[in-house]
Amino acid sequence: MNTRSRKLAIAVTAASLSGPVAVPVYAQGATPALEEIVVTARKREENLQDVGLAVSALNQTEINRMFGRDLTDLSSVSPNLIIDDTAQGPGGVAAIFIRGIGVADVEKNFDPAVGVVVNGIFLGANSGSLLRSIDLASIEVLRGPQGTLFGRNTIGGLINVMHTQPTGELGARVRAGYEDFDTFYADGIFNFGLTEDLAAKVTLGKRDQQDGYYDNVATGEDGVGANDYETYAINLLWKASDNLELEFTYQNEEIDQDTPPLLNTGQDRHLFCNNTGQLPGNDVDYGFCSPSLDRPITGDRLEVANVGLRPPTDPATRDNPIVTSPTADAIPVPLNASFETDFYTLEARWDLNDDYRVDYLFGRWESQEEIVSNWDGTPEFLYGTNRPADYEQDTHELRLTYDAGGKLTYVGGLYYWDSEYSIDLNSWVGFPVPGTILDIFQFSQQTTESFAAFFEADYALTDQFTLTLGGRYTEDEKESRQFGNINTITDPFSDHPNETWDEFTPRIGGRYAVNDDVMLFATYSKGYRSGGFNGRVNSLEEARQPYDTETVDNYELGIKSEWWDKRLRLNANLFYMEYDDKQEELQLPSDEGTGQKTVVTNASSATIAGAELDVQAFLSENLSMRANLGYLDSEYDDFQYTDINGGVVDLSDIDFRRAPDWTGTIDATYEWELAGGNAWVRVAYHYIGEHFVNVANSPELENDAQHLVDASINYSINNFTFSLFGRNLTDEDGYTHGYDVAGLWSYAATRPPRVWGAELVYDWND
C-alpha cells in the first residue's frame, strides 16, 4: 500500500485529540486505551503526540456523529477557533478566525488569513470555503502561522480537510435525513473497482432547506432563507506500479438560495435612524432605529424587513457608469442567489525507493456566483446591489520527502499559484437624492501569481532531543483593474496598477522526549499575508494605491502527554504573537459614489498571547470525554488611520473582533450494547465568550457569551444506524457577522436557531 494510502487508512479510523470518540464496548474489566492519532500537519504522516505544533483533529466517524452541515458546525474541535457564515454572499462566505486572526469580507480581492486546504489544495477565497460535511475523512486545525509548509495567507493557522479515497471494493454508504424548516437531505458514497489496479468512487449529495429561519415583517413572507444544495463527484485511484499511484478527482457543487437576509441594527448615530443633516440636500427622516442595542429594527433577530427592488431602467455599464431613475418606478425583484464550483485535482505519488518519495499535486478551483442583495434591511429603496462574480485558481506543487528511519528527515518543494477574479457590480442607491435611484456601475478584476520554494527538516541530536529548521521564500505579484462609480477610475484595458511582494518565513523548533509518554516542545514561526489592492474604491488614487503585507511572529511552548495507561491524553501550549502592519478593513464615509467605501490599509500593530488545553479520556469502559479550553489576550499596540476630512482616528483601545477571551468545549459519548446492536448518546457543550463581530467595536454588534448545546441519540444494527439529533438546543441567537456602514446604518446576520432532526444511514460492503 502506498504511503499516503496507509496514512489515510489510519487517519480515518484513528481517534482525534479533540473530537468525540466512537467508544468500543469492552469485555467486563477490560481497560480501554486511546488510539494513536496520525496527522499530516507537516505534509508527512506523524503521530500527533510527536508533532511540536498545536493541532486538533476530527476523523470521519467523529465528523458524522456531530451532524454538521458544514464547517461552522464543526468549530468546537479546537480552542480559540471561531467559524461563522457572514451571510454576505452565496455559497457560504467564511469568517474563520484562529487566535483572533482572520478575515470577514466577501470580496475576493482580500486574501484569507486562515487557510482552508482541501485534499492538499489551498482555497484562495472566503466564498465557498465553508465546506459541506459530505464524504470527509478528517479535519485538522493547525493553530498559529503555517508559513513554512503552507505559505502565504495562513498567518492565523490552517484547516486541513481530507476526503476519503476509493477503496477498490464494492460498497456504499447512503444517508438520508429530515430537519426542521422543511429540510430534506440525502447523500451517497459508492465504491467499486474498474480493474484490479483502478478503483473508483462516486459521491452524490443533495440538501434542500425549503424554509429559511427568518420571517419578513415587511412583505409578510415566512421562511425566508431557503437553500438548495447539490453535489456530485468522481474520484479515480490508479495503482500504476508498485511505487506509483495517480489519483484524479472532479467535484461539482451547485447552490440555489434566497439571498441571505440581513438585519438592520441602526442606532441614534446612524443617518437612517435619525437624519441630522449629515447628507447635504437630504432632510428625510427615515426613522429606522433599533429598540435597543441588542435588537434589530424589527425587535426580533429572526424577523427581517428587507424588500427586493431594482431600478426600472437598463443597468449602468462600463460605457454608461451611472444611470438615474425615479424611486417611484422601482421594479420588485426576487432576492435570489446562486453559487457553482468546479474542483479538479490530480496527484501523483511516487516512491523512488524506501527513503525518498516524490509528490506532484495539481488543483483547479472555479466558482461562478450571482446575487441580488438588499443591504439596508428596510422596506425602503436605500441600498441594493447586483454582483455577478467569477473566480478561478490553478496550483502546482512538487514535493520531495526523505525518511530513511535515521536521525534526519525532511520535506522540500516548489509551489506555483495563479488566480483571477472579476466582478461586475451595480450598486442601487436611493438615499443621496430623495426620490431618485442612482445605478452606479463598478468593474473590478485582480490577477495573482505566486511562486514559493520551501524546506523543513528534523534532526535528532540525541535520542531525546530533535531540532527542527525550516523556511519558505514566497514572491507574489498582483495586477488590479478598476473602473466605475461616478468618475472613471482606471481604463481596464490600458491602466493596470501592479505590485510585487516577497517574504521569507522561517521556523525553528525543538522537541524533547521526557519519556515515552511526555514530550515538551518549543517553536518560533513566522506567518505572512500578501499585500493587495482594494476591491471597492471611489477614486483613482485608491485604485492605484496598494496595501502592504502583514506578518506575525509566533513564539510557543507546549507539552504533549499521555497518562493513566494511555486512557488520558493531555496536551497544552502557551503562545505569544507579535502582529505587524496588520491589514484592517475600514468602512468609511465617502463624498463620491455610493457614499461609503471599504478600504484596506496597514493601520495597526498588535500583541496576542494565550493558552490552550486539549484533553481526551476514557472515563469508564463505555464513557469517553474530550474537552478543550482556550484563553486569548489580544491587544492593539497602535491602530490609527486618516478619515475623509484628514483627521487622525485612533482606535488603539478597541478589542479585536471575533477574539473572545475564553472558548471551550466539553463533549461526552456513552456507548453500550443493546438488543443485538450498539447504542450511544452524545452531548456536547460549546462556550464562546463575549466578542465583537466588526472591526470598530460598534456596541450593537457585540455578542454576549454564548452557550451552545448539541445532543444525539443513536442506535446501530445490521448495517443500519438510526439517529435523533439536535443542534443549538439552547437556541442562542448570537450574531455571526456585523458591519457598520460608515455612519449610515449597521447590519447583522444571526446564527441558525434550534434545529431537530432524524437520520438513517445504511453501510454496505460486498
pLDDT at 148: 94
Residue-level pLDDT at 644: 67
Per-residue pLDDT at 180 exceeds 60: yes
362-399 pLDDT, tens digit each: 999 999 999 999 999 999 989 999 999 999 999 999 99
pLDDT of residue 634: 96
Mean pLDDT of 518-529: 97
Cα–Cα nearest to 144, from 524, 628, 452:
524
Q: Helices H, strands E: what count in the chain?
A: 3, 44
Q: pLDDT tier at 27 (50, 70, 90 boundaries)?
A: very low
Residue with cell 484562529: 98
User: What confidence tier does 37 reach under pLDDT thresholds 50, 70, 90?
Assistant: confident
- Of the listed ranges 35-49, 190-204, 733-747, the least confidently predicted one is 35-49
Among the listed ranges 307-311, 440-444, 481-485, 561-565, which one has the minimum average pLDDT value? 481-485
Helix (H, G, I), strand (E, B) or coil at 62: helix
pLDDT at 16: 32
Has residue 174 been placed in a domain?
A: yes
395 part of a folded domain: no
What confidence score (pLDDT) does residue 539 get?
Answer: 64
Q: Indicate if the pLDDT at residue 594 is higher than 90.
A: no
The proportion of the chain whose per-residue pLDDT surpasses 90, expressed as a percent, equals: 74
The confidence score (pLDDT) of residue 400 equals 97
Give the CA angle between residues 309, 313, 317 to the nearest 5°: 100
The residue segments making up the domain with residue 678 are 3-369+380-390+407-765
> How many other CB atoms are there within 10 angstroms of residue 461's CB atom?
10
406-434 pLDDT tens trace: 999 999 999 999 999 999 999 999 988 88
Residue 9 has pLDDT above 70, yes or no: no
Q: Does residue 467 register a pLDDT over 70?
A: yes
Q: List, for residues 296-342, the tens digit of each pLDDT value.
A: 999 999 999 999 999 999 999 888 888 999 999 999 999 999 999 99
Inside any domain, residue 89: yes
- Predicted confidence at residue 433, as pLDDT, reads 85
3-class SS of residue 713: strand
The answer to whether residue 399 sits within a structural domain is no
Q: pLDDT tens, 690-731? A: 999 999 899 999 999 999 999 999 999 999 999 999 999 999
Q: Closest Cα to residue 569, out of 605, 617, 528?
A: 617
In total, how many domains does the chain have? Answer: 1
Residue 7 predicted with pLDDT over 50: no
Which H or E element spans position 7?
helix 3-13
Q: How far apart are CA 426 and CA 20, in angstroms?
A: 47
Direct distance between the N- and C-terminal alpha carbons of the chain, in angstroms, rounded to an integer: 21
Assigned domain for 631 exists: yes
Q: How confident is the model at residue 509 (pLDDT cuts 50, 70, 90)?
A: very high
pLDDT tens digits, one per residue of 666-687: 999 999 999 999 999 999 999 9
For the four alpha carbons of 749, 750, 755 and 761, in that order, the dihedral sign comes to positive
Q: Indicate whether 130 pLDDT > 80.
A: yes
User: Is there a contact between 430 and 436 (Cβ–Cβ < 8 Å)?
Assistant: yes
Task: List the grid coordinates of 20.
Answer: 468525540
What average pLDDT does range 550-555 have in this prediction?
97
397: in domain: no
Count of positions (residues) in the chain: 766
Residues 275 and 282 sit within 8 Å (Cβ to Cβ) = yes
Please name every residue paired with 657 in a beta bridge, in sequence order, or none if there are none.
692
Q: Which residue has the higher pLDDT, 481 or 100?
A: 100
**Residues 458-481: what's their mean pLDDT?**
96
Mean pLDDT of 505-509: 97
Report whether 729 contacts 706 (CB < 8 A). Answer: no
* Mean predicted confidence (pLDDT) in 157-180: 96
Cell reading at 239: 495503482
User: What is the arithmetic mean of pLDDT over 438-452?
Assistant: 92
| Secondary element (H or E) of residue 199 | strand 198-209
The partner residues of 454 in beta bridges, in order of sequence, read: 413, 472
Q: Give the 3-state secondary structure of residue 544.
A: helix
pLDDT at 278: 42
What the block records as the C-alpha cell of 236 is 479515480
**Mean pLDDT computed over every residue of the chain:** 89
How much is the average pLDDT of 53-62? 90
In a domain, 586, yes or no: yes
What lies within 8 Å, CB to CB, of 403 at 6+ separation is 44, 355, 409
Query: Is there a domain that residue 616 lies in?
Result: yes
pLDDT-derived band at 461 (thresholds 50, 70, 90) equals very high
CA distance 98 to 527: 13
In 3D, which of 448, 452, 426 has the Cα closest to residue 498? 448
Q: Domain with 555 in it: what CATH number?
A: 2.40.170.20
